[in-house]
Structure 1
Amino acid sequence: MTVLAVALLGVVLVGAVTRPRGLPEASAAIPAAVVVLAVGLLSPQRAWAEVAELGPTVGFLAAVLVLAHLADAEGVFRWAGGELARHSRGRPQRLFLLVLLTAAVTTAVLSLDATVVLLTPVVLDTARRLGARPAPHAFACAHLANSGSLLLPVANLTNLLALKATGLTFLGFAGLMLLPQLAVLVVEYVGLRLVFRTDLAAPAEEPPAPEEPPLPRFAVAVLALTLAGFAASSPLGIEPVWVAVAGALVLAARTVATRRTRVLDVLLAASPLFCLFVLALGVVVAAVTDRGLGDLVAGLLPAGTSFPALLGLAAIAAVLANVVNNLPATLVLLAALGPTPATGAVLAVLIGVNIGPNLTPVGSLATLLWRRVLAARETPAPLGTFTVAGLATVPLGVVSAVAALWLTLTLTG
């Protein structure tokens, strides 16, 4: 039965990575979850408990995807592209730094999916319009979609799972992860600048006058208030999904009324099939965990929150993320840590599953989606370049982030 559970997880992951004939990720995950129940790998009660546990997190994911779609319809990303072009002054190195910072902010506020799907095309268009080589800026978006998701709970689905495991407030989480996030940003900047030094040194063509789309004040205000709402509601025990839904409803009312988008587009932006994929994946991973993988992983995890222990947790998490993808890895590792894990242990795991996927193209679903975005725009993303960029940033990024986390935990007690 253990072999069957692992085989089903393999089928789900292969289906999500390859998407044969363009089928959605859920096309493999839902049948696999049905088989899990049909053959008794998981009881219906256990499966329902897993779905109920993931429900608020998945609901939040849907709401944030809608928020990102509405922000795009309101022109937030067009405005960002205009600002990137204006402030870069035609200099590729300056554009690269601005793209890296913009990707980090976009990931933190609107999640890594917004950075991959909405910001990356804008960055590519901006680089080409300025006559700069697109590769450094495209890779900055890919890397910061993953490694830039440490700061806020809303940045990544893995963060929401970790937040629930630790019991931290929104601001408490951000306070502990601020220094690790800054450390990773420095590593990413230096590492990617080194890897793409030739592209960034190439002189840009004479750029045309940059477009200056107006600042979409209403949309930016709603996003800012939504972010503030996350921080304010967390100590009150209000799930972040309700704040995200409220922000999405307010912004949707205006965006639909002004015909910048349609109701159908808003519903599709919630990506219901992907949400079903996450729930079905949770059921399959629960079956694998209960059938022995959880005990195996638990036996490998170091105990305590010393620097070597935190580094070991992060390293194991990074490796597992690149083997089975970061979302299943997070579910398995959190289960292996037990019902009352140490906060430092959970955050070390989070560092591994968020930074680690930059080492291989299959480490996270966001990276796979980024490759599709580049393919649609005929922008190459060679495996060799991806690997070199990962080796230049991931190992040092993990060590730096863990060191910063250990220092923060030590100083805060």
Structure 2
Amino acid sequence: MPDYAIWLTLGVFAVTVVLMTVRPGGMNEAIPTALGGAVLLAAGIVPLAKLADVFEVAGGAAFTILSAVLMAIVLDGIGGFRWVAGNLAYRAQGSGYRLYWLVVLFCFAMTLFFNNDGSILVTTPVIIRLCGMLELDMRQKIPYLLSGALVATASSAPIGVGSLTNVMSLHYAGLDLDRYTAYMLVPSVLAIAAIAGTLLVCFRHDIPRSVATFPGGPPTAEKVPYGYHSRMLVDRLADCRETTTRTPLHAHPLPSGNHSFVDWRRFRYCIATVVLFRAGLFLAEDVGIAAELLALCGVLALLAARFYRIGTGIGDVFARMSWHVLLLAFGIAIIVEAFRDAGAVAMLADRLAPYANAGDGQAVAAAGLTLAALSSALHQLPSVLIGAMSMAEMGLDPQTMQLAYFAGMIGSGIGSLLTPAGTLAMLLWMSLLRKHQIAFTWKAYIKTSIVVIPVGLLVGLCSLYGWAKLIA
């Protein structure tokens, strides 16, 4: 590749990362990646003949992620997450610390069911609503909001379909979901537990010892008349506002179960569909079924049930979809292809190869720490894809290559949380806080993450090394 092409590739990448981070004028993250990819295509740095390969990598991954987001929107539309907020408050039983762990588990589960971006869209409004119901002040809200966001984002690491980054990188590494989960589940869960525990220590003076209790029992669902439109049943969580009516400390402002307006039958059906969809992704590979086809079946099943129960079409659901994920995936894939052609991938492979060949411990440390640094500084998605391609080109034996790849995934999944700019999920979380007028600065974020994230990263990498030895 000529020198001008290398400099143009580096320039496009730098501008793209800056615009994704700063987002001037509220710019969508997909716009700079799409423009960057278009520039590289127009300049001939990435040949048009490679678009088919790009589509193979980005198209299926983006569609799988979009299907999970759509499922979350359908569940939101029937009031499922409003019901969750009430149950979290009830099951806390007046304990702020119990509530903390319930929020952590809720955010962890939502990422496993959907993905990290979809989980942030779901869990953040729920936690904001929950804090409003419990009448927590700003200092008391932050431990729940920040812990929920960090856990929700980090929880993409245990399974291969937890984020767009994971799905795309699996293709470059040539791995399947079963092997990914076998190696990553235990170390990632231990790392997430370490993050949650360290956050609890950091916020021990801010988490209230006691919170308001729920009168009576947990909220239950009411039978909804056929044809009653879902948007008339519940308030959209994204537009919820804190209650302005002050209530006694031990009285809860959430209405009783008879007014919860959750279509319980459809809620159970949707949850069952989501669980079957996530489990089916692992089974599909064994029988040669494409993940995108399974995702399409899950989406159609939910939309059909929605139409049958409330008689509405798909227009409102599609209007709330994150269609920009398609542009984001294609743009990033094109930029990464340009990086490969520019020699950046080979250069990184040359730098890491001596450490990777020195032994499994050195391979884990080198890959994990390198991708943690790249992801926190340059953004997770392009860093992981470049790292995955580099490891594939090192000429390592399959076992060492896979171990280095898994270490890189932990490094990027945990290390990217060092700054809000490391992942799209955290940038989205910061924008949701601004929308709800919750003041939380980058300085305040980094003040906590600089303590918490290194602990989680160290636990994750050490656990991976030990777990790989155990199951080898």
TM-score by length of 2: 0.82
Instruction: Give the counterpart of 2:414 among 339, 355, 359.
Output: 355
Cα deviation code 1:308-343 (max 9, x no counterpart):
320221110011001210001011111111257622
Task: Measure how far apart 1:166 and its partner are.
Answer: 4.5
Q: 1:145 aligns to what SS in structure 2? A: helix
Q: Larger deviation: 321-330 or 165-174?
A: 165-174
Shift in alpha-carbon separation, 1:42–1:166, aligned structure 2, 3 A: closer
* C-alpha distance in structure 2 between counterparts of 1:262 and 1:18, whole Å: 37
Q: 2:81 aligns to what SS in structure 1? A: helix
Q: Kindly indicate whether the alpha-carbon contact (under 8 Å) linking 1:57 and 1:161 is maintained by their aligned counterparts in 2.
A: yes
Task: Measure how far apart 1:287 and its partner are.
Answer: 0.9
1:120 aligns with 2:110: no
* C-alpha distance in structure 2 between counterparts of 1:402 and 1:194, whole Å: 22
Shift in alpha-carbon separation, 1:171–1:61, aligned structure 2, 3 A: same
Task: Give the aligned residue type for 1:264.
Answer: G
- Which residue of structure 1 aligns with residue 287 of structure 2? 236
Shift in alpha-carbon separation, 1:207–1:384, aligned structure 2, 3 A: farther
Task: Measure how far apart 1:136 and its partner are.
Answer: 0.7
Q: Kindly indicate whether the alpha-carbon contact (under 8 Å) linking 2:94 and 2:210 is maintained by their aligned counterparts in 1.
A: no
Cα deviation code 1:189-229 (max 9, x no counterpart):
22111221121146545243355545521111111221221
Aligned residue runs from structure 1 range 121-270, under 5 A:
121-132=125-136, 133-201=140-208, 203-204=210-211, 206-209=249-252, 210-211=254-255, 212=257, 213=260, 216-259=267-310, 262-270=313-321
Q: Kindly indicate whether the alpha-carbon contact (under 8 Å) linking 1:303 and 1:309 is maintained by their aligned counterparts in 2.
A: yes
Task: Measure how far apart 1:114 and its partner are.
Answer: 2.1
Task: Give the aligned residue type for 2:370.
Answer: I
Shift in alpha-carbon separation, 1:273–1:233, aligned structure 2, 3 A: same
Task: Measure how far apart 1:164 and its partner are.
Answer: 2.9
* C-alpha distance in structure 1 between counterparts of 2:415 and 2:155, whole Å: 12
Shift in alpha-carbon separation, 1:377–1:74, aligned structure 2, 3 A: same
Cα deviation code 1:261-316 (max 9, x no counterpart):
75123323442223112201210222123213212221222314612320221110
Task: Measure how far apart 1:412 and its partner are.
Answer: 1.6
1:88 aligns with 2:92: yes
Task: Give the aligned residue type for 1:310.
Answer: V
- Which residue of structure 2 aligns with residue 308 of structure 1? 362
- Unaligned 5+ residue runs, structure 1? none
Q: Kindly indicate whether the alpha-carbon contact (under 8 Å) linking 1:129 and 1:208 is maintained by their aligned counterparts in 2.
A: no
- Which residue of structure 2 aligns with residue 279 of structure 1? 330
- Which residue of structure 2 aligns with residue 50 of structure 1? 54
Determine which structure has the larger helix proportion and give its number: 1
TM-score by length of 1: 0.93
* C-alpha distance in structure 1 between counterparts of 2:269 and 2:377, whole Å: 43
* C-alpha distance in structure 2 between counterparts of 1:283 and 1:46, whole Å: 9
Shift in alpha-carbon separation, 1:269–1:236, aligned structure 2, 3 A: farther
Shift in alpha-carbon separation, 1:384–1:20, aligned structure 2, 3 A: closer
* C-alpha distance in structure 1 between counterparts of 2:318 and 2:158, whole Å: 28
Task: Measure how far apart 1:174 and its partner are.
Answer: 2.0
Q: 2:414 aligns to what SS in structure 1? A: helix
- Which residue of structure 2 aligns with residue 70 of structure 1? 74
Shift in alpha-carbon separation, 1:195–1:261, aligned structure 2, 3 A: farther
Instruction: Give the counterpart of 1:294 among 345, 349, 357.
Output: 345
Q: Larger deviation: 29-38 or 347-356?
A: 29-38
Task: Give the aligned residue type for 2:298.
Answer: G
- Which residue of structure 2 aligns with residue 11 of structure 1? 15
* C-alpha distance in structure 2 between counterparts of 1:363 and 1:308, whole Å: 24
Task: Measure how far apart 1:165 and its partner are.
Answer: 4.0
* C-alpha distance in structure 2 between counterparts of 1:187 and 1:261, whole Å: 45
Task: Measure how far apart 1:144 and its partner are.
Answer: 1.2
Q: Kindly indicate whether the alpha-carbon contact (under 8 Å) linking 2:151 and 2:196 is maintained by their aligned counterparts in 1.
A: no
* C-alpha distance in structure 1 between counterparts of 2:356 and 2:301, whole Å: 46
* C-alpha distance in structure 1 between counterparts of 2:289 and 2:405, whole Å: 22
Q: Larger deviation: 306-315 or 383-392?
A: 383-392
- Which residue of structure 1 aligns with residue 374 of structure 2? 320
- Which residue of structure 1 aligns with residue 402 of structure 2? 343
* C-alpha distance in structure 1 between counterparts of 2:329 and 2:289, whole Å: 22
Task: Measure how far apart 1:66 and its partner are.
Answer: 1.1
* C-alpha distance in structure 2 between counterparts of 1:168 and 1:32, whole Å: 28
Q: 1:197 aligns to what SS in structure 2? A: coil
Report percent identity of matched pairs: 25
Task: Give the aligned residue type for 1:308.
Answer: Q
Aligned residue runs from structure 1 range 391-402, under 5 A:
391-402=450-461
Q: 2:356 aligns to what SS in structure 1? A: coil
* C-alpha distance in structure 1 between counterparts of 2:116 and 2:92, whole Å: 23
Cα deviation code 1:353-385 (max 9, x no counterpart):
111121101000110000011111111222232
* C-alpha distance in structure 2 between counterparts of 1:377 and 1:140, whole Å: 18
Q: 2:420 aligns to what SS in structure 1? A: coil
* C-alpha distance in structure 2 between counterparts of 1:299 and 1:400, whole Å: 27
Task: Measure how far apart 1:259 and its partner are.
Answer: 4.1
- Which residue of structure 1 aligns with residue 32 of structure 2? 28
- Which residue of structure 1 aligns with residue 468 of structure 2? 409
